[in-house]
Structures are given as C-alpha cells and as structure tokens.
Amino acid sequence: MMGLTNLNSTHLSSTKITAAQDAIALLESALAEITINLSAADRKKYGSINEQNKLFVNKVHDYFQNQPNLSSPDVDWAEFERDYTSRNHMEGMISRLESIITRLNNAKTLHDFDNYQYALDDYSFTAYRAGTAAVGFEDKFRDLKQFFVKPTPPESDSSTKENKEKK
C-alpha cells in the first residue's frame, strides 16, 4: 500500500518567492529604527506588563481620553499617547505576522511530510534494487540504512544480574 503523499502540491513560483523575500526585506528596513535587541535580563526587567497590567494601562488611557481633568499633570501625556498608539500598531502587526508564520509553518509541515514519504518510497525501491544486485544500489542502500538503525534497548537489571550469576 502506498503511503499518503502530496498533501501540499501548491508551490510558489520563483517570482513570488522573490516578491515575498523583497517584501520581508522592505518590512525589516521599515522597522529597523524601532527594533531593539533586549538581553534576557532586560526582557525580564521591562517585560512585566502582563494582561492584567495592560487592562490597567487601557483604563488609565480611557480616563485620560474621557476625563483628562482627572489625569496626573506629572505624566507626559503626549508621549503616553504616542507609546500607546505605537504598541497598538505593533500588536496588530505582530498578530498578522504570527498568522503568516503559522500558515507558512503549516505549509512547510505538509511539504516536509511529502518529502519524507517520497524519501521512504525511494528507500523501499533502493532496498528492492539492492536485493537484485543492481549496480550502485547496494552502496546507496547501505548509506541510507543508517537512518533506520533501531536503538538497542538497555539491559534490564534482572537480566544483567542473571548473566553475572551464570559466569
């Protein structure tokens, strides 16, 4: 029985691959001035705004928008608004990019599966041809066989003890 293959037969043309790579380069260039590499310590230090804290920020923003007379004069509200707007735009872009990444990973997974199934078909053919002593297939079979070596199970304690006692 032949395995399930060709789960994804849709392939991007070289023109579309180039267009996608160009679009990614353009995006990287457009975002270069705001992308910052944080160390793990910095991410831990500054990344403390969890979902509850985001709700808090949103509520403070709502008060500032609707009742500015209740807002602290010590806050740079223009900068607060720019930060708020930027984070919302970035969150939207991140969501869209994550969706693209998920869909790309899904397509890649199907291509990987197809490749593996075809490789298994080729291995079976190679094993058959090696069995007929066809030229070149024995070497190819030996080379590919390394990927199918079954690990030897470790000896259990009882069998090891029994072997030692017999000696």
Residues 6+ apart with CB under 8 A from 49: 57
Supply 17's token pair.
Answer: 């691959």
Statement: the pTM of the whole predicted model exceeds 0.85: no
pLDDT digits (tens, 9 = 90+) for 141-155: 999 999 998 888 887
Average pLDDT over residues 27-33: 95
Q: Do residues 114 and 5 lie in contact, with contact meaning Cβ atoms separated by under 8 Å?
A: yes
Residue 1 has a pLDDT of: 42
Residue 4 has a pLDDT of: 62
Give yes or no for residue 6 having a pLDDT over 50: yes
124/146 Cα distance (integer angstroms): 14
Locate all alpha helices (DSSP H) within the chain, ordered by sequence. 14-31, 40-46, 51-66, 77-131, 137-145, 157-166
Give yes or no for residue 102 having a pLDDT over 90: yes
Average pLDDT over residues 5-26: 90
Closest CA to 130 of 121, 117, 140, 119: 140
Residue 5 has a pLDDT of: 62
102-117 as b/e: b if 16+ CB within 10 A: eeeeeeeeebebbeeb
Domain positions in the chain are 44-151
